[in-house]
Every structure is written in C-alpha cells, then in structure tokens.
C-alpha cells in the first residue's frame, strides 16, 4: 500500500456517501456520541484488537507495510482484555436500537475474556460462530490456525432475519492483504450484515481498520458508522471507498 501524506488527525469526521467515518477511540463516550448523534444502531460488526500482538510473527506483512502494527494490539492479560471489551461495549450501548446484534471477531486465546467483557456489559453471549478459511495462517502455534471465532450476541433483545444459518462459515482468506494485517473478506462481512439488518439500517464498527465493514454496507445498502484510531487506516478506508464508488469524501469535522 502506498502511503499518503498524513493529513488526518484524531477527532476528524468524514462523510463517505451515506456513511460516516471518524478518527478516534471507540471507548471515548463523548467522541462516540458526537459521531453517532441521535442515530440508532441495529448491528455492531467489528474486529477489535485481539490482545495477542497479532503482527509480531507476520514477517511478510511487516515487509509490505514497513513494520506497521495494530494500535492497542499489545499483549494483554485476560483481566485487561475483559475490561477493554466492557469499556467499548458500554460506550456504544446507549446508541443501540431496542433490537440489536453484535458480531465480534476474536481469537481462541481471548474468547473467554471477550465473553466475560460482554457479560459484564450486560450483553448476552448468544453463540460462537466459526469462520473457516481456505488456507491456514502460519505462525508460532503447533497447529496452524485455519479459523477465526465470531462472538454472536446482543444487548436486551435481538432478531434474526433469516430462517436459519450454519454456525460454521467457510470463506476464503484474503491473500497477503496490502491494507491491514487482519483484513476480513468483504463477502464475509456482507453475509453477517444481511443476516441481521435490513436495507437502510445502521451498522457500527468501532475498530474499522481498513474499512471492510463500510464497503460491505455500501454493497448492501446499509449505513455504516465507523471509528478507527489509526489515521493511516482512516486514509486507507477513504481510498478504498473512493476507488469502489467514485464518490468523493467530505470532511465534516
């Protein structure tokens, strides 16, 4: 990925077509309220840092992006990660529709801490979904992981718009994504969005990364409100959106 001059700063808010993108911390209640406003969120679809220093062994990615790392993805204890999870969920809770849903990507190591964080935030941990990739990820583990976990839950009440679906989702993993070390396939996010939202519904991603959730919402006629703490990834999202749609981004704050 070719880096652009860094003109984006913390606190900036952008309008990308029908979507909103902000540079900041999704645990900052005042900032989140400023970004979301009076809008009510139907679904939270996000891929927060796993707390396992995921880029440490991704040497190919480091060569591609010159040692770019994920902010907040330092090694954390279970207790730290539970608190981290509770904090960002508590921040978004006041903005949820009465019927809502969470899809939260995570790793084997931190899934129990994630569950406790959800429970501490009074959310229902409903089910564990498994994304099976078509190829394994080579790393430090004895068994090369070929899957990621997705915590499926809600706060208060939820609704599922399909009759049924399978808990195991098989979808190809992007090959050496130049955008981000943990980029998810747009089609995978689109699958989740279609299961739990209607056209025009609002989807929130507080860890937007390189913008995959926003692109999935654009393709499915949903509205995305995304927050990303890293200005470089905010710029990447803007570039991907403009390339996909031809629509120019507007800076509104």
* DSSP letter assigned to residue 157: B
Predicted confidence (pLDDT) at residue 245 exceeds the cutoff of 70: yes
- Residue numbers of the domain that contains 40: 13-245
Across the range 90-109, mean pLDDT stands at: 97
Decide if 2 is inside a domain. Answer: no
- The total number of structural domains in the chain stands at 1
Predicted confidence (pLDDT) at residue 32 exceeds the cutoff of 70: yes
What average pLDDT does the structure give for the chain? 89
Predicted confidence (pLDDT) at residue 59 exceeds the cutoff of 50: no
Span of 109-123, 138-152, 206-220 with lowest mean pLDDT: 138-152
Decide if 130 is inside a domain. Answer: yes
Predicted confidence (pLDDT) at residue 224 exceeds the cutoff of 60: yes
Q: Is 216 helix (H, G, I), strand (E, B) or coil?
A: helix
CATH code assigned at 229: 3.40.50.150
Decide if 175 is inside a domain. Answer: yes
Structure tokens at 167: 């808990």
Decide if 111 is inside a domain. Answer: yes
Decide if 7 is inside a domain. Answer: no
**CA nearest 89: which of 182, 204, 184, 198?**
204
**What string of DSSP letters covers 57-104?**
T-HHHHHHHTS---TT-S---HHHHHHHHHHHHHHHGGGEEEEEEEEE
| Residues forming a β-bridge with 157 | 99
42 vs 197: CA distance, rounded Å: 7
Decide if 51 is inside a domain. Answer: yes
Decide if 48 is inside a domain. Answer: yes
pLDDT number for residue 71: 54
Q: What is the pTM of this model?
A: 0.89
pLDDT number for residue 174: 72
Through-space distance between the first and last CA atoms of the chain, rounded to whole angstroms? 26
Decide if 172 is inside a domain. Answer: yes
Across the range 218-243, mean pLDDT stands at: 98
81 vs 97: CA distance, rounded Å: 26
129 vs 87: CA distance, rounded Å: 23
pLDDT in tens, 66-83: 445 545 455 789 999 999
């Amino acid at each position: 990925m070719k880096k652009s001059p860094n003109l984006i700063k913390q606190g900036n808010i952008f309008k990308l077509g029908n979507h909103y993108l902000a540079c900041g911390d999704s645990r900052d209640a005042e900032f989140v309220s400023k970004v979301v406003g009076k809008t009510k969120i139907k679904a939270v679809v996000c891929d927060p840092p796993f707390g396992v220093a995921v880029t440490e062994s991704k040497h190919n990615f480091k060569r591609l992006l010159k040692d770019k790392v994920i902010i907040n993805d330092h090694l954390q204890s279970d207790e730290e990660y539970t608190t981290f999870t509770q904090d960002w969920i508590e921040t978004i809770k006041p903005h949820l529709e009465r019927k809502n849903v969470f899809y939260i990507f995570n790793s084997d190591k931190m899934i129990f801490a994630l569950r406790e964080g959800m429970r501490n935030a009074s959310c229902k941990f409903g089910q564990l979904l498994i994304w099976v990739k078509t190829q394994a990820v080579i790393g430090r583990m004895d068994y090369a992981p070929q899957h990621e976990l997705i915590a499926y839950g809600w706060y208060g009440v939820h609704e599922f718009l399909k009759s049924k679906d399978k808990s195991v989702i098989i979808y190809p993993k992007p090959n050496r994504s130049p955008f981000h070390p943990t980029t998810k396939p747009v089609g995978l996010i689109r699958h989740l969005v279609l299961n739990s939202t209607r056209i025009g519904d609002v989807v929130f991603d507080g860890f937007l990364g390189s913008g995959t959730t926003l692109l999935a919402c654009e393709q499915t006629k949903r509205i995305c409100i995304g927050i990303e703490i890293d200005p470089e990834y905010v710029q990447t999202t803007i570039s991907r959106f403009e390339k996909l749609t031809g629509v120019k981004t507007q800076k509104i704050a």
